[in-house]
């Protein structure tokens, strides 16, 4: 028999999981409808990486690029966040590409000579003290040339 506290805790965990799943589904829908078209003429590789971020937060993802391929890497953020910053770094932590909010570049094209792993780091700039904090979807998309 469940005690009242156990039932309340289980209900809260269930509600949190439902909300997290709903946020991820909304982010996937946003990326599919608003971001994938920006990869053209590259073909979306169907690998979906996203995060719900607020100002001052960052996320990173490891990406594998295969030799002999042309790629487009794109970071697409929900407009409520404004421009986000991102960089692509190689296995030696050397910056291959960096986009800053004052010079926004939503994508970067590269041709890979040898198969390699890179890390993409994305962060949302902090806002002024009196501004309302918004959380929004940031999608990391990779396309390849057929």
Q: CATH code at 122?
A: 2.60.120.380
Q: What is the pLDDT of residue 23?
A: 52
Q: What is the pLDDT of residue 56?
A: 93
pTM summary value: 0.77
Q: What is the pLDDT of residue 13?
A: 45
Structural domain range at position 123: 4-144
Q: What is the pLDDT of residue 132?
A: 77
Counted domains in the chain: 1
Per-residue H/E/C for the chain: CCCHHHHHHHHHHHHHHHHHHHHHHHHHHHHHHHHHHHHCCCEECCCCEEEEECCCCEEEEEEEECCCEEEEEEEEECHHHCCCEEEEECCCCCEEEEEECCECCCEEEEEECCCEEEEEEEECCCCCCCCCCCCEEEEEEEEECC
Mean per-residue pLDDT pooled into runs of 10, the chain (146 residues): 54 41 72 91 90 94 96 94 92 93 81 96 84 88 93
């Amino acid at each position: 028999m469940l005690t009242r506290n156990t039932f309340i805790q289980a209900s809260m965990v269930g509600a949190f999981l439902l909300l997290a799943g709903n946020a991820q589904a909304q982010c996937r829908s946003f990326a599919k409808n608003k971001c994938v078209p920006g990869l053209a003429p590259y073909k979306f590789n169907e690998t979906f990486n996203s995060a719900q971020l607020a100002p001052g937060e960052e996320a990173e993802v490891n990406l594998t690029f295969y030799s002999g391929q042309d790629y487009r890497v794109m970071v697409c953020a929900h407009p409520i966040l404004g421009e986000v910053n991102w960089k692509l770094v190689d296995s030696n932590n050397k910056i291959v590409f960096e986009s800053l909010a004052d010079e926004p570049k939503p994508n970067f094209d590269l041709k890979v000579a040898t198969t390699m792993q890179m890390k993409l780091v994305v962060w949302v700039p902090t806002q002024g003290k009196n501004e309302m904090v918004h959380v929004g979807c940031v999608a990391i998309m990779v396309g390849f040339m057929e």
